[in-house]
Amino acid sequence: MYGLIGKMRASRGQRDAVMDVLRASTGALPGCLSYIIARDPADADAIWVTEVWTDAESHKASLQLPEVQAAIAKARPFIAGFEFQVETHPVGGFGLADGKTG
């Protein structure tokens, strides 16, 4: 599995607008096992996104989907920036398979 944990910053007062776009555009994406959007309780403009994909290629391919491209374009005016993004290799947990193959 392939995971990403990232923190983005919405323009002042636009966090809910960005989260609305993210929620509306994260339906059935091929290879996406989990896509969690969260508010930062200590920062009114911060959004945390935690993603789990079957593999890195599925994530990369998702960025080319027309619906994802449209969501990026719609949210872009409300995004001030991205603070950081970390890649992970999930092994399992509640709601995910254990990641073992064979």
CA pair distance 86, 84, nearest whole angstrom: 7
Domain 2-88 has CATH 3.30.70.100: yes
- The model's pLDDT over 13-63, given as tens digits with 9 standing for 90+, comes to 999 999 999 888 877 789 999 999 999 999 999 999 999 999 999 999 999
Q: Would you state the pLDDT for residue 98?
A: 60
This prediction has a pTM of 0.85
Q: Would you state the pLDDT for residue 21?
A: 92
Q: Report domain extents, the chain.
A: 2-88
Average pLDDT over residues 64-73: 89
